[in-house]
Every structure is written in structure tokens, then in C-alpha cells.
């Protein structure tokens, strides 16, 4: 089973305690916006943030954006009330709930059951999907089972800050590499998340780049992530959206080449052949799958 097809290059995090920030996010160029009830909201502001998040889906025009709300983790006193309040909110515009600090499949099972009960009680017309943040050693160890824990799950996200703390990595810079490490410090957990996501038909998203004014560093990090195969990356400031969208938008030359591959394979199929040669390279069914995915993404972006 595959998750619904959604454009997910950039995912903007917005503190739900600020209605002004929420309104600005609705007019941004982010593909996905998540209203945050967790880390960006102080304890004293949790109730106000929850009330704002419950009202915001129907207050603003979100256009073609996917709208998500990040609730607090199960190890806090707020999760149950977060879920009930936002699902009892106005209208069915909300698309997703995001659960942080997912350590085991049981965390997903509990959220799935709660969401299902509230949906039934509210007679919601549109089921809500789930996004899961993997940000601990335990989460990585259980990531395959987590990814398959519910048919509601649409995406896995990598949380570099809490993951670094969980493993004892000697860095306090969220999402950045450590020059003392001779390689990519985050390649292993990100690869595990990516494979688990793809094996279950889910999207895979990279987390934040904390130096929001360092667009060169953000671009370099996003390029590594895109090269691995991730769908997109978080933006923690609207100023990061343009850079992220650009990195995760297929270049025109690659899209044109993908269309040539599809045309060459159509021609080969018409002649009863399962492979063809294009520009001196052999192309076959695997080439078609890659090319179709690239063209489909380009068309979704063009139609946004």
C-alpha cells in the first residue's frame, strides 16, 4: 500500500502559538506546512497553541498545500488533548497529524486508535494521515516495524537533533556535519529511514537545518539528502523555502532526458523489444520506472 501522492519538497514548521506566523505560512511557497504544538511552543503557551491549531485549518486559504499539525509526544501530558482538540476543530481541511519521538510501533498504534475514535465520533468525511518523526536510537532500531504500523502512515521524518542526543554524538548543531568525523555523520540513520519508507510506500523527509540564515550550508545539506532519494526537507524559516524547493525540483535537463527515455522505450516496445539504447547507454524497464517518477514529480510541480 502506498501513501497518497503529495508534493513534499519543502515542509515549513510554524509555531502554532502565533496566529500571525500561521497566517503568513498559508501564503508561503511551502508544499507542506505543519503547525507545531511541540518543541517551538513553551509549556505556558501549549493551550493557546492548541486552540490556534484547531481554528487555523478553516480560518485561512491554504490553497494546494498539504496541512499538518505536530502534536506533542506520548511522553508528555498533552498528546491526548492535542489530538482530540485539533480533530474536533472546524472543517476537514486538515490532512495530517505529525507524531514526534516515535520509538516503537506501539506509539503509532496508540495514535491510530485515538484518531479513529475521534473521527468516528465527529463523523469526519476525510481520514487523517500520519507523519512520524524518527529521532532516537530506539526509533532507528525499530524503524521497519514503525513504518508498517498503520495504513494511515504517509511519511517518515528524520529528526537529527534528538537523534544526536540519543546516540551521544558530539555535536550541538542540528542537522550539521562534524568535521571530526571522516564521512557523513547521519548517513546510517537516514539510509535506514529511507529504506523503511520506500519499502512501505511512504515519503521520506529530512529534518531541519538550524542556521536559518546560512543558505549555502542549507543548500549543501539538501543536495546530499536529495541525492540519497529523500522527497524533501524541513524549513524552519520562510527564507529557507526557496532554496529547498529549488534543490528538490528536478532540473529541466533531467526531465527532458526522462521524457526521451520514455519515448525510446515506447518505440522499443512497439518493435517487440524490452530494452533500447539511448546516447550509447542501455535502458530497460528499470529506466522507465525512474523516468516516470521524475516526469510525474515535474508535472505535479508544474500544476501546483
pLDDT of residue 204: 98
Q: CB of 71 within 8 A of CB of 107?
A: no
**267 pLDDT higher than 80:** no
Q: What integer is the mean pLDDT of 172-198?
A: 90
Model confidence band, residue 179 (pLDDT cutoffs 50, 70, 90): confident
- pLDDT surpasses 80 at 280: no
For the chain, which residues make up each domain, given as ranges? 10-247, 252-302
| pLDDT per residue as tens digits for the range 45-54 | 999 999 999 9
Is residue 2 very low, low, confident or very high in pLDDT (cuts 50, 70, 90)? low
Could you read off the pLDDT of 246-257 as tens digits, one per residue?
999 988 888 888
144: Cα separation from own chain's centroid: 17
Tell me what percent of the residues of the chain surpass a pLDDT of 90.
73
Topology (CATH level 3) of domain 10-247: TIM Barrel (3.20.20)
Phi, psi of 9 (to 5 degrees): -70, -55
CA gap 154, 5 in Å, rounded: 9
Helix axes 105-122, 79-87, angle to 10 degrees: 30
Is the model's pLDDT at 287 over the cut of 80? no
Using DSSP, state whether 12 is helix, strand or coil: strand
pLDDT at 286: 73
Residue 268's pLDDT is 76
**Residue 172's pLDDT is what?**
67
Amino acid at each position: 500500500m502506498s501513501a497518497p501522492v503529495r508534493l513534499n519538497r519543502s515542509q515549513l514548521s510554524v509555531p502554532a502559538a502565533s496566529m500571525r506566523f500561521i497566517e503568513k505560512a498559508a501564503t508561503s511557497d511551502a508544499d507542506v506546512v505543519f503547525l507545531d504544538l511541540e518543541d517551538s511552543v513553551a509549556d505556558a503557551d501549549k493551550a493557546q497553541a492548541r486552540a490556534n491549531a484547531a481554528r487555523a485549518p478553516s480560518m485561512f486559504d491554504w490553497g494546494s498545500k498539504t496541512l499538518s499539525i505536530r502534536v506533542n509526544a506520548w511522553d508528555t501530558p498533552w498528546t491526548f488533548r492535542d489530538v482530540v482538540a485539533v480533530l474536533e476543530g472546524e472543517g476537514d481541511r486538515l490532512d495530517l497529524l505529525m507524531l514526534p519521538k516515535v520509538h516503537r510501533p506501539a506509539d503509532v498504534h496508540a495514535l491510530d486508535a485515538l484518531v479513529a475514535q475521534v473521527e468516528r465520533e465527529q463523523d469526519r468525511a476525510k481520514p487523517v494521515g500520519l507523519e512520524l518523526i524518527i529521532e532516537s536510537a530506539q526509533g532507528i532500531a525499530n524503524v521497519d516495524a514503525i513504518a508498517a504500523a498503520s495504513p494511515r502512515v504517509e511519511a517518515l521524518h528524520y529528526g537529527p537533533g534528538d537523534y544526536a542526543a540519543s546516540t551521544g554524538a558530539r555535536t550541538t548543531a542540528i542537522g550539521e556535519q562534524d568535521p571530526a568525523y571522516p564521512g557523513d555523520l547521519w548517513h546510517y540513520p537516514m539510509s535506514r529511514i529511507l529504506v523503511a519508507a520506500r519499502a512501505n510506500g511512504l515519503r521520506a523527509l529530512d529534518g531541519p537545518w538550524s542556521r536559518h540564515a546560512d543558505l549555502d550550508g542549507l543548500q549543501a545539506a539538501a543536495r546530499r539528502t536529495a541525492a540519497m532519494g529523500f522527497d524533501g526537507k524541513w524549513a524552519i524559516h520562510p527564507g529557507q523555502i526557496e532554496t529547498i524547493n529549488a534543490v528538490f525540483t528536478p532540473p529541466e535537463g533531467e526531465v527532458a532526458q526522462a521524457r526521451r527515455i520514455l519515448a525510446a522505450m515506447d518505440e522499443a516496445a512497439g518493435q517487440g523489444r524490452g530494452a533500447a539504447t539511448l546516447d550509447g547507454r542501455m535502458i530497460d524497464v528499470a529506466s522507465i520506472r525512474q523516468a516516470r517518477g521524475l516526469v510525474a514529480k515535474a508535472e505535479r510541480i508544474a500544476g501546483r
